[in-house]
Amino acid sequence: MSHNSITNESETFEIGETTVHRLGFGAMRLCGEDIIGAPDDEEAARKVVQHAVDCGVDFIDTADSYGPAVSERLIGEAIGNRDDVVVATKAGLLRNDAGDWIAHGDPDYIRNQVLTSLDRLQTDTIDLYQFHRPDDDTPFEDSIATFAELKDDGLVDEVGVSNVSAELLDRAREQVEIATVQNRYNLHDRGSREVLEICADEGIGFIPWAPIDGDDLAAYGDLLDEIAAAHDATRRQVALAWLLERADVMLPIPGTSNRDHLESNVAASRLSLSDAEVQRLTQAAE
Ligand SMILES: NC(=O)c1ccc[n+]([C@@H]2O[C@H](COP(=O)([O-])OP(=O)(O)OC[C@H]3O[C@@H](n4cnc5c(N)ncnc54)[C@H](OP(=O)(O)O)[C@@H]3O)[C@@H](O)[C@H]2O)c1
């Protein structure tokens, strides 16, 4: 029970056997510049995670490649292993000091990474383990089989995929139950509409990354400003409220390292858009 004035009022969704509020938190931004290394103030980053949980956020997204290893470590240090918070992490991307993101779905690598993630997250089981991005050099089925095996072995409760087409989602589902899909999706970028529709039909969680990307939202500035003014809200809050209305399986994970931004994002969960407003926003880019 939160004692904050800001509380997460979003509806809930079942990930496996755990119920989470649909408005989550993306922990990629807790790292240093370009998502490499530690932030200048680690304690402030841990406090943002703790404050998210105090505000009723019970779904946190991270990845081994954020830092790498930094975001997961900070989350582990901030909240340890809590039964009432689902921490979703990912494996399948390498980093280098130029900041590149390199797909690497090699089974041995993933089996190694899960052990390091368990250690940093201070847990015995990863709540939701997502394959970060398909790797052209490793057969997709081999990577997914490894995630399935980790689930069978009890190291992972649920399996998710990220950055997949409808066809790859189908292929993954032939091998293991897929709890969630994480693809880029926001008001402006609806390239994953077909995958979202499959998720909605099949009851699979859809986690839109970059849900409030400022550059993308600028394309709908006037419409967002008009609706935001009517609700005494911000553009980003309207964009988040629209996502939450868009589908019952939608689990947005706005990312921030800033406590005020976090509060503003969580407060979007109590914004109630009219049907007409939702329709105008939906039609704006369809
Ligand atoms: N699966 C994938 O391939 C993939 C790729 C990218 C991201 N992700 C996940 O998705 C999450 C969200 O994506 P994202 O962080 O790229 O994009 P986002 O959440 O759409 O936007 C984050 C940006 O918006 C700013 N921001 C957030 N809340 C704000 C507010 N209330 N007011 C003003 N500025 C605000 C943040 O800066 P401040 O820190 O200054 O607030 C940051 O620059 C990530 O944290 C990560 O967990 C997954």
Ligand 1 atom having least distance to the Cα of 264: 31
Alpha carbon of 257 to ligand 1 centroid (Å): 9
| Close Cβ partners of 162 (under 8 Å, ≥ 6 residues apart) | 90, 92, 130, 131, 132, 133, 181, 182, 183, 207, 209
Provide residues with CB under 6 Å of ligand 1.
Answer: 26-29, 61, 162-163, 182, 209-214, 236, 253-258, 261, 264-265
Q: State which of 28, 47, 87 you would mutate to test the pocket of ligand 1, scoring each by most atoms of that ligand within 8 A of its C-beta.
A: 28
Using most ligand atoms within 8 A of CB, pick from 87, 181, 185, 212 the residue to mutate for ligand 1.
212
Cα(22) to centroid(ligand 1), Å: 16
Pair of tokens at residue 196: 């979202």
Determine how many CB atoms are found less than 10 A away from the CB of residue 72.
28
pLDDT higher at 286 or 37:
37
| Stated pTM of the model | 0.97
Assess contact for 207 and 181: CB atoms under 8 A: yes
Domain boundaries, the chain: 19-285
CATH number of 19-285: 3.20.20.100
Indicate if 109 belongs to the active site.
Answer: no
pLDDT at 202 over 80: yes
| CA–CA separation, 150 and 175 (whole Å) | 13
pLDDT tens sequence across 63-73: 999 999 999 99
Write the pLDDT tens digit of every residue in 118-169.
Answer: 999 999 999 999 999 999 999 999 999 999 999 999 999 999 999 999 999 9
Here the tokens at position 33 are 């510049």
